[in-house]
Amino acid sequence: MPRAWRRGKPPISGWVQEQTEIVEDSLRKIPDTERLAAGIASLASITDPEQPYTRRPFTEFFQKGRQWLQGEMEAAGLKVRLDAAGNLVGWQAGRETLPPLMIGSHTDTVAGGGRFDGVIGIIGGVEVVRCFNEVGINLRHPLEGVEFLAEEPTDFGVSTVGSRGMVGALSPELLDKTNEQRPPLSEALTELGGCPEKVPNEVRQRGDIAAYLEMHIEQGPILDQEGIPLAAVTGIAGIRRFTVTIAGEPNHAGTTPMELRRDALVVASRFVIESELIFRSEEDSVGTVGYLQISPNMANVVPGLAELIVEMRSIDPGIIARIDERLRQKAAEIAEERGIPIRMDPLTDASPVQADPRLIEITTQACRQTDPRALVLPSGAGHDATQVGTIAPIGMIFVPSRSGISHNPAEWTDSEDIALGVQALARALVLADETF
């Protein structure tokens, strides 16, 4: 774990310490733990039978999960609609006419994903709304619960599709993205019920959201190793992705001498190994080559084309820029040495996002009221909060991931820890309601 991603303990200012606890008795009744666990289990059961816990966006399993979730949101008292960017949005009025407090997360998964990533944030948020109504907590601000479309990387190479659309970052170029198996992203969004041509008209502006809060599994090992159930989040690492295209020459594998081959896969393999060396040499960062496709992909043909997707992450934008430059220099060296062109094209670029200082204080206070041992951590994973943070104050709450495992069927978080996270989220909303 990079040193800069370790825990910290920022001071809690007096105004937070002085917040009254007039609703504390009600907050202690949140959540209904059995109902919360049953909801998570219900959504986990809606999955691709060929791959456990898989709901890829724009698939029938994702749609079935959404239909179930819409029913839960409506049962909690939210008025639900689908916005132009394909986000499932629930609304509940507040006591005053103010911008809403927003809570949310996602229900789509990576292939062979887990039961808790994203899911606990949206189901936990719905549970908070339901409990507020049951115990009589009526916030000043309206409360908006959002299940964002396609937080995970899609078949189009684009992630955080719905939250990008909400904040005006879903460009025409991204909507035109396609691949060999799928139509353009715009067409897939239309089939889902969104409206690509209306996305610009529905973009939220700064001031339209009072504050955004998201509860999530840590997807890292710190809380589990420390035996602590909660953490407030200080910021979210930036993620830069680009495609790498290596154009060799396909040829007969039995008749082409080794010295005459222009093997794109060999060059790709060299680039992957050199990339890992660069990633390992840069502190406070991580990097991955997580996608590789070759053509014609036959046992008796020298690979003529290789396509990769490379990503780098850091909470320091300068480190991301330096890694990018080093990778491009290394690609140029390999291309010259092997006589095979390597093209690198930008795919997506999400800058690091810092949580709002007021929300760091609020989430820290809420977590430590729930469990005094709560930590303060940055996030190495990306979230929809990254996009929302470009127009609104954001804060996040983490609960543990057993052994730090995520994006894996073995992903696990104890129900008791999720319940504590929901209670901390409820406390944070009450504090935010009085602050913003």
Beta-carbon count within 10 A of 3 CB: 7
The residue ranges of DSSP E strands in 106-230, in sequence order, are: 143-147, 211-217
* 282-321 burial code (b ≥16 CB/10 A, e <16): bebbbbebeeeebbeeeeebbbbbbbbbbbbbbbbeebbe
Output the furthest CA–CA distance in the chain (Å, rounded). Answer: 82
Say what the pTM is: 0.81
pLDDT at 19 over 80: no
pLDDT at 13 over 90: no
Q: What is the pLDDT of residue 23?
A: 64
Per-chain mean pLDDT for the chain? 92
- Please state, in angstroms and rounded to a whole number, the distance separating the CA atoms of residues 43 and 10: 36
Q: What is the pLDDT of residue 157?
A: 85
Q: What is the pLDDT of residue 20?
A: 43
DSSP label of 123:
H
Contact partners, residue 118, CB within 8 Å, separation at least 6: 105, 106, 107, 108, 109, 151, 216
Do residues 145 and 87 touch, judged by C-beta distance below 8 A?
Answer: no
Q: What is the pLDDT of residue 315?
A: 87
In this structure, of 8-12, 70-74, 358-362, 423-427, the range with the lowest mean pLDDT score is 8-12
Burial class (CB in 10 A: 0-12, 13-18, 19+), 64: middle
Confidence of residue 11 (pLDDT cuts 50, 70, 90): very low
